[in-house]
C-alpha cells in the first residue's frame, strides 16, 4: 500500500470544498469524493442537493457512508506527508532577498512555504503544521507564499476581498456588496478568477497567434533576404564577368591601337628616310655639278668653255620635290578603335538585356481586360485579351470606373506589392498607350498622362514617334519598332520598365516612383485613324523557352 500511495499526488487526496486532505471521505452517487462534514454542510446550505463538481442534482439527499478505502489511503498519505515534513524540518531554508519570510518565526526567519488567506500570514514548514492537522485551521485557504497579504483586505471595511465586481472590474468584500456595489454584477472570487483565467487564455492564444505570424514573417523576410542575396551575388558575378570581358577588350583595343599607330609611324619614318636619302644623293650630285659650273665659269679659254658647256647641259635633270610630302597615316585610328569598343559594348548590353528580360519574365501574371472600365468605343474580345477601337460608340452604363473621353481600359487585376510582368503585342499599330495607372485616377474627361496624375505610360504616335509621358513628354530614340512590349513593375522599388521583347532592348524605365495605391495595367489602342490603326492590342502569353 505504501508503494502505491507513493505514486499518488496530493491533489488526489484533496477535498474540492475545503481544499485539504480528506477527513472521513464519502462518495456521492455521481462518483465524486468529499469530506463528510464539507458535503453535508454544503447540502444544508443549498437546496436541492447538488454535486459541487459535476452539478448533478439529487432530489432526495443521498445517505452518505464513509469510503473506508479512500479514508485509509488519505490517512496513509497524511502520515507520509508528516514524515516527509519531519524528515525535512532540519533542511528548512533561511529566507533570502526576493523570497517570502515566515511571519511567525522569531530570530532567524525561515522561508515561507504557504500563505493563509484567512489568517493573512505566511508560514514556514514548522509553523504551517497546525493548518495541516487542526480541523478548524484545515479549512483555511492556503496558497503559494505571497508578500503584502494586507493588500487582500478591503481598505474600507477591513474584510477579506473574496468577491469580484464584474461591473467595475475590481475585487470587493461582502460589505461592499451592500454599499457601493449593491446593484452590480458580483461573483465569488473563484468565478471571477476562472473568467479572467479564460480571458487570459484567449489573450495568450491571440498573442501566440501574433507571435506565430511574426515568426512566419521573419521566415519570409529571411527567405527574401536569402533570395535577394542570391540575386545580388548573381548580379555581381554577371557584372564582374561583363566588366572583365570589357576590360580585356579595352586592353586588347589599346594594345592594338598602340601597335597600329607605331607600325604606321615606322612606315612613315621609313618613307621619310627613303626621301631623305634620295634628296641627299641629289644634293651630292648637285654639289658636284655646282663645282663643275664654278670651275668652268672661271676658265679664260673660250674654246674649252664652249665645248664643255654642252656636256654640262647633258647632266640628268633634278626631281621636282614641291609636291612630295610625308603624311602621317594614323588619323582616325583612335576613332575606329572606339567604334569597335562600342560594338563590343553593344553586344555585351544585348546579352545583359537578354538575361535581365528572362529574369523579369519570371514574374509574369495573368492579366485580363475589365469591360467596366472600357471606353464605349472600345471593342474587347470574349476572352478579354484583346482590345481595339470601334467606329461606333456602344451604349454602356456610365459607371464611375469607366473612361468617358479617352479610349482607355484597365485590367481586371490590381497589384499593391511585389513584382509583376506582362507582355502586349503592338504589331501593325501606328498609335498606342501602355503602362500602369493607380486606382484613384480621374476617369472622366481629358486627362494628361503623367506620374503626377497617376500614370506611368509610354506611347506611340504617328507610326514612329515614341514618348515617355514623364510630365513634359520625353522623346525615345529606338533602333527598331517593337512588335511586342513587356511591362515590368517592382512595387517596393518604385520601378516601371518597358522592354522590346524581340530585340531584346530596354525602351524606358520610370525610377524612384512612390506607390501607395493599387496599380492596374493600363491600355489604349488609340483611335482607328481610318483603318490605319485598326490592329488590336493583344495581351500575349510569356514565352519562357527563348
> What average pLDDT does range 460-485 have in this prediction?
93
Residue 205 has pLDDT above 90, yes or no: yes
> What average pLDDT does range 196-211 have in this prediction?
92
Would the pTM of this model clear 0.85, i.e. be above it?
no
- Report pLDDT for 204: 92
Residue 102 has pLDDT above 50, yes or no: yes
Report pLDDT digits (tens) over 244-288.
888 888 888 888 888 888 888 888 889 899 989 988 888 888 888
- Report pLDDT for 6: 47
Query: Which ranges in 175-319 belong to alpha helices (H)?
Result: 189-298, 302-313
Backbone φ, ψ for residue 522 (5° rounding):
-125, 140
- Report pLDDT for 92: 62
Cα 157 from chain centroid (whole Å) = 59
User: Residue 323, class by beta-carbon neighbours within 10 Å (0-12 exposed, 13-18 middle, 19+ buried)?
Assistant: exposed
- Report pLDDT for 530: 85
Residue 316 has pLDDT above 70, yes or no: no
Distant-in-sequence, close-in-space partners of 335: CB < 8 Å, separation ≥ 6: none
For residues 219-253, b (16+ Cβ closer than 10 Å) or e, as one string?
eeeeeeeeeeeeeeeeeeeeeeebeeeeeebeeeb
Helix (H, G, I), strand (E, B) or coil at 458: strand
* Grid coordinates belonging to 45: 446550505
Percent of the chain with pLDDT over 70: 94
* Grid coordinates belonging to 173: 468584500
Whole-number Å distance between alpha carbons of 408 and 461: 15
Amino acid at each position: 500500500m505504501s508503494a502505491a500511495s507513493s505514486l499518488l499526488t496530493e491533489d488526489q487526496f484533496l477535498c474540492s470544498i475545503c481544499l485539504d486532505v480528506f477527513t472521513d471521505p464519502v462518495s456521492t452517487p455521481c462518483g465524486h469524493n468529499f469530506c463528510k462534514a464539507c458535503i453535508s454542510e454544503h447540502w444544508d446550505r443549498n437546496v436541492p442537493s447538488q454535486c459541487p463538481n459535476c452539478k448533478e442534482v439529487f432530489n432526495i439527499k443521498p445517505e452518505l457512508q464513509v469510503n473506508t478505502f479512500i479514508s485509509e489511503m488519505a490517512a496513509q498519505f497524511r502520515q507520509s506527508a508528516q514524515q516527509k515534513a519531519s524528515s525535512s524540518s532540519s533542511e528548512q531554508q533561511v529566507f533570502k532577498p526576493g523570497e517570502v519570510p515566515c511571519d511567525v518565526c522569531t530570530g532567524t526567519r525561515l522561508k515561507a512555504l504557504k500563505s493563509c488567506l484567512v489568517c493573512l500570514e505566511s508560514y514556514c514548514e514548522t509553523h504551517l503544521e497546525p493548518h495541516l492537522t487542526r480541523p478548524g485551521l484545515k479549512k483555511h485557504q492556503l496558497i503559494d507564499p505571497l508578500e503584502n497579504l494586507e493588500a487582500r483586505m478591503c481598505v474600507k471595511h477591513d474584510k477579506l476581498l473574496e468577491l469580484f465586481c464584474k461591473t467595475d472590474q475590481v475585487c470587493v468584500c461582502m460589505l461592499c456588496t451592500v454599499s457601493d456595489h449593491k446593484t452590480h454584477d458580483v461573483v465569488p472570487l473563484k468565478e471571477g478568477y476562472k473568467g479572467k483565467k479564460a480571458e487570459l487564455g484567449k489573450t495568450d492564444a491571440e498573442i501566440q497567434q501574433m507571435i506565430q505570424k511574426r515568426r512566419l514573417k521573419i521566415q519570409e523576410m529571411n527567405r527574401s533576404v536569402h533570395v535577394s542575396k542570391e540575386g545580388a551575388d548573381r548580379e555581381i558575378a554577371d557584372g564582374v564577368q561583363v566588366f572583365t570581358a570589357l576590360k580585356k577588350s579595352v586592353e586588347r583595343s589599346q594594345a592594338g591601337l598602340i601597335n597600329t599607330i607605331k607600325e604606321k609611324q615606322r612606315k612613315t619614318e621609313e618613307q621619310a628616310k627613303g626621301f631623305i636619302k634620295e634628296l641627299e644623293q641629289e644634293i651630292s650630285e648637285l654639289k658636284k655639278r655646282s663645282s663643275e659650273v664654278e670651275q668652268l665659269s672661271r676658265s679664260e679659254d673660250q674654246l674649252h668653255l664652249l665645248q664643255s658647256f654642252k656636256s654640262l647641259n647633258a647632266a640628268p635633270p633634278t626631281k621636282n620635290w614641291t609636291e612630295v610630302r610625308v603624311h602621317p597615316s594614323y588619323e582616325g585610328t583612335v576613332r575606329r578603335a572606339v567604334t569597335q569598343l562600342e560594338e563590343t559594348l553593344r553586344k555585351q548590353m544585348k546579352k545583359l538585356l537578354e538575361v535581365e528580360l528572362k529574369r523579369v519574365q519570371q514574374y509574369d501574371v495573368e492579366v485580363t481586360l475589365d469591360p467596366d472600365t472600357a471606353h464605349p468605343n472600345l471593342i474587347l474580345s470574349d476572352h478579354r485579351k484583346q482590345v481595339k477601337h470601334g467606329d461606333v460608340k456602344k451604349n454602356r452604363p456610365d459607371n464611375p470606373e469607366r473612361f468617358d473621353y479617352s479610349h482607355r481600359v484597365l485590367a481586371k487585376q490590381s497589384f499593391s506589392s511585389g513584382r509583376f510582368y506582362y507582355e502586349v503585342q503592338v504589331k501593325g499599330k501606328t498609335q498606342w498607350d501602355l503602362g500602369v495607372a493607380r486606382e484613384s485616377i480621374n476617369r472622366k474627361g481629358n486627362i494628361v498622362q503623367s506620374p503626377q496624375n497617376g500614370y506611368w505610360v509610354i506611347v506611340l504616335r504617328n507610326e514612329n514617334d515614341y514618348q515617355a509621358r514623364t510630365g513634359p513628354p520625353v522623346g525615345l530614340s529606338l533602333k527598331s519598332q517593337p512588335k511586342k512590349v513587356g511591362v515590368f513593375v517592382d512595387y517596393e522599388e518604385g520601378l516601371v520598365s518597358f522592354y522590346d521583347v524581340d530585340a531584346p532592348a530596354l525602351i524606358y524605365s520610370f525610377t524612384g516612383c512612390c506607390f501607395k495605391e493599387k496599380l492596374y495595367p493600363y491600355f489604349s489602342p488609340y483611335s482607328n485613324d481610318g483603318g490605319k490603326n485598326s490592329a488590336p492590342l493583344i495581351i500575349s502569353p510569356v514565352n519562357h523557352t527563348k
